[in-house]
Chains A and B, each alone.
Chain A
Amino acid sequence: MSDPSPTTPDWIAAWINEQRERVEKSTLGVDSLSAWFQKAAPEAAAGEAAGGSEVPGAFASLAGASVPPLGWLREHLELWQELIKAHGAYAEALAEFDRVLKRIQIDALQHLQRQLQTERRIDNPRQLYDLWIECGEEVFARAAPNEFAAAQARLANAQVALRSRQQKIVETFCRQLDLPTRSEVNTLNRQIRELRAAVEGLQGRAPTRSRRKSVRTKSA
C-alpha cells in the first residue's frame, strides 16, 4: 500500500497509517491456537484412551501421526486423528479468511486515499470516518460475491467439520460415564415423531390441535 499523498493533511495521513498498521498486525489468533492444539491434543487423546493412566507416549504419537489406526485402541485413535486433521483444516481456512479480510481492509484504505485526492473536502474526523465507511463498503461489495464468499464458505465448512469431530469425542466420554448423549436424544426425538404421526393417523387427522383458554395480554 502506498503512503498517503503529500497533499493529504497530516492528521488524516497519520490516521490512515495507524489503521494500516493495525490491520497488518491483527490476527484471528490462528498461530497460537494451532500451536497449543498440536501439543495438547495427542496428550488429551492419550489420557482419554488410557482412562487417565500413563500410556501416553506411543498413543500420543500415533494419534498425531498419519499412519492408519491399529489395534485395541483403533477406534479411539481414529477419532483423535480425524479431530487433529479437522483442526488443521480449520486453521488453514481461518488463516485464508484472515488474509481475505486484511486484503479488503487494506484495499479500503487505498480507496480512501484515492478519494482524498479528489476534490472531496474533509474538515473533521467524523467526515473522514464516514468516507472510510463508504470506501470500505464499496471495496467489500466487490469482494463479497466471490473471494469473500469462497473464504467464508470454506471457513464455515471447516468449523462445522471440526465441531463434528469434537462432538464425537465428547460423546465417547459421555458414554464411558453413562451420560445421555445428543445422538441418543435425537434417536428418541425421531421415535416420538414417528409415534405422533402414527397416533394422528389413527385419529384420522393430520395436524395436532390443542385449544387453550384464551388469555388476553395488554403488552408483550
Chain B
Amino acid sequence: MSEASQSEQQREMQRFWERGAHTLQALSKVGATAIGTTPKEVIFQTDKIVLYRYFAADATQAPRVRTPLLICYAMINRPYMLDLQPDRSLIRSLLSRGLDVYLIDWGYPDGADRFLELRDFVQRYLHACVEQVCAHAASDQVTLLGVCQGGTLSLMYAASYPERIRNLITMVTPVDFRTSDNLLTKWSEGIDVDALVETYGNVPGEMLNAAFLALMPYRLLSQKYMSLMDHLDDPQALENFLRMEKWIFDSPDQPGEMFRQFLTWCVKENRLIAGTLRLGEAPIDLRRITMPVFNVYALKDHLVPPSASRALARYVGTQDYSSYEFPGGHIGIYVSGAAQREVPMRIVEWLRVRDRKATARPQL
C-alpha cells in the first residue's frame, strides 16, 4: 500500500473518530425529550394499575366508532411506546379516526407484588379495567387490543369473559411459543425459573433487557450507536433516538410469581395452545374466542417470530378471523413511517365493518 494511500486511510479513521465525538456533543445539546404527550385522564386505579382514557389533541371530523377500545400493553416495557411522539403515535392515529381509546398502565411492580399471579392480572386487574371502561363509556362491551405479552393476556381474558369483548385485536402477540424459530423460547429452556424467582423475587427489568440485547448483540450494542453519526446534523433525529433509547431501557421488574407462571406455563409448556392452561380453577380455552379477531404481526419480528403469532388462526373459535402482516419489525410496527400510514388505518377499517350500536348501560 502506498504511503499516500495509508495516510488517506489514517485521515479517514481520524475523521471517523472525530465524527463520533461530535455526535456525543450533539446529543448533549438535545435537552429534555417529551414522551407520551397525547392528553389523557385517569379514570381508575387499583394497586399499581392505572387506567387512562385518551383525548384527541385536535377535534376529529371522523365518524365515531361506538365500541370503546381498551389497550392491554405488555408488562415488559412501558406503554408510552404507543404514544412516543406526536408523529409516531398509534394512539393519536386511532383517536383521529374516531376511536375512544383507553389504556392500562401496569406500573412499576415492587417487592409487594412478587406473589401476584397470572390470574391476578387477567381475572382481577384486566377484568376490573374492562368493567370500568364499560361503565365509563356506557357500553356493555369493549374492543380489546393486546400488544405482545399483553396480547397473550388478552387472549386469556377473551377466552374467560367472551361476553365482554366485542372485538379482539392482537398485535405482535406470541400464541405458539414453541415454533422452531423462537430464539427466546430456546434460551429459556435451560433457565431454572423456579430458582430465579425464589432468589430474585421480582425479575429485574435489566435482566430481560440483557436477554433482548443479546438477540442481536452486534447491532444493538454497537451499530445502533455508530449509526447516530449519520444524523449528526439532524437534531430531530437525535431527539427521536433518545426517546427510543429511554423506552428501550425503561423496563419494569416482572412480578416474580406471574413471571414464573408465564415462562413455565406459556413459554416452556405452551399450555395456551395445548389447551391445558388454567388460571385458578378456570380453564383457558381459545375456542371460546368467538368474537371477531384481527391478528396483526410483523414479518421481520426478531422477538416474536411471525410463526408464533400466525398460529392463532388455528386455535380460536371465531368464524371472523383476519390478519395483517406488517413488513417490518417488532418495534417498527409502532414507530416507523410505514406503520403510521398502514396500521391504524387497517385497524379502524376492520373495526368500522364490525361496529354496531353499543347497548346503552346506565352509568355506575
A residues sitting closer than 8 Å to B (CB atoms) are 9-11, 108, 124-126, 129-130, 132-133, 136-137, 140, 144-145, 149-150, 152-154, 156-157, 160-161, 163-164, 167, 182, 185-186, 189-190, 193, 206-212, 214-220
* Inter-chain contact A189/B223, CB cutoff 8 Å: no
* Inter-chain contact B183/A145, CB cutoff 8 Å: yes
Select one of A149, A193, A218, A220 contacting B80, CB under 8 A: A220
A192 to B: closest C-beta gap in Å: 8
* Inter-chain contact A133/B127, CB cutoff 8 Å: no
B residues sitting closer than 8 Å to A (CB atoms) are 1, 5-6, 9-10, 12-13, 16, 34-37, 39-47, 80, 83, 111-112, 114-115, 123-125, 127-128, 131-132, 183, 186-187, 189-192, 195-196, 198-201, 214-219, 222-223, 226
**C-alpha spacing A218/B55, complex, angstroms:** 9
* Inter-chain contact B123/A219, CB cutoff 8 Å: no
* Inter-chain contact B195/A160, CB cutoff 8 Å: yes
* Inter-chain contact A145/B186, CB cutoff 8 Å: yes
A153 contact set on B, CB distance < 8 A: 187, 189-191
A86 to B: closest C-beta gap in Å: 11
B223 contact set on A, CB distance < 8 A: 129-130, 133
B112 contact set on A, CB distance < 8 A: 189
B224's closest neighbor in chain A, by CB? A133
* Inter-chain contact A140/B16, CB cutoff 8 Å: no
Could you list 30 examples of A-B contacts with CB < 8 Å?
A: A108-B218, A124-B12, A125-B9, A125-B13, A126-B16, A126-B226, A129-B226, A130-B223, A133-B218, A140-B216, A140-B218, A153-B191, A156-B191, A157-B190, A161-B199, A164-B198, A186-B114, A189-B112, A189-B114, A207-B123, A207-B125, A208-B124, A209-B128, A212-B42, A212-B45, A216-B39, A216-B40, A217-B41, A217-B42, A220-B80
* Inter-chain contact B46/A210, CB cutoff 8 Å: yes
Select one of B13, B42, B111 contacting A185, CB under 8 A: B111
A164 contact set on B, CB distance < 8 A: 195, 198-199
**C-alpha spacing A133/B218, complex, angstroms:** 6
B42 to A: closest C-beta gap in Å: 5
Q: Given A157-B191, A208-B124, check contact A137 B196 (CB 8 Å).
A: no
Give the 10 A-B CB pairs with smallest separation, nearest first: A153-B190, A220-B36, A216-B41, A136-B218, A11-B9, A207-B124, A10-B1, A164-B199, A219-B37, A207-B128
* Inter-chain contact A157/B195, CB cutoff 8 Å: yes
